[in-house]
Amino acid sequence: MKIVAVLGALLAVLAVVAIAMDTMAAVCLCRTSELTRGQKTAQLVIALALPLFGAWIVLRLLAEADPEAVRRRWTPSDTINAYVFQLLSAEAHSAMQSAEHQVESAAVDTLVGLSHHDVGGGDAGAGAHGGH
């Protein structure tokens, strides 16, 4: 029974912290003039969809883009931020390379398809007439 009570208390504390961080993110998003309404909405959805982590990301990005919108005491420590941004940067770089590879592959496939179509069109015409 004590374990259930401790887990319940822990969940309650996490819920309060998540609500507080979501509220801070929402207030900061309202205060900034650096983002469009669509960007603010998207970032608020991220903050609400990913409890704790989403709000932390939104607050950190806002702290860099518009320091006046976020009070310094609300931002996480610089040491933790360095590791998180390294991770996010590596994932973004990997995603960008993958996207570039897909675009290059699609372009090559299109060019190869067009060149085969031109060559194949001439051969098909000759073959239909019996080669004479």
Co-location of 6 and 58 in the same domain: yes
| CA separation, residue 109 to residues 71, 100, 101, 121 (Å) | 51, 14, 12, 18
Distance CA 128, CA 103 (A): 37
List of long-range contacts for 117-121, beta carbons under 8 Å, 24+ apart: none
For residue 13, the SS3 value is helix
Residues 129 and 95 in one domain: yes
Q: The pTM is what?
A: 0.50
Closest CA to 20 of 46, 51, 44, 41: 51
Name the domain count of the chain.
2
pLDDT in tens, 72-102: 555 555 665 566 556 656 666 666 677 777 8
4 and 66 housed in the same domain: yes
Which residue positions in the chain have pLDDT lower than 70? 71-96, 116-132
Residues 55 and 86 in one domain: no
The domain of 128 spans 78-132
One domain for residues 43 and 91: no
- The verdict on 34 and 99 lying in the same domain is no
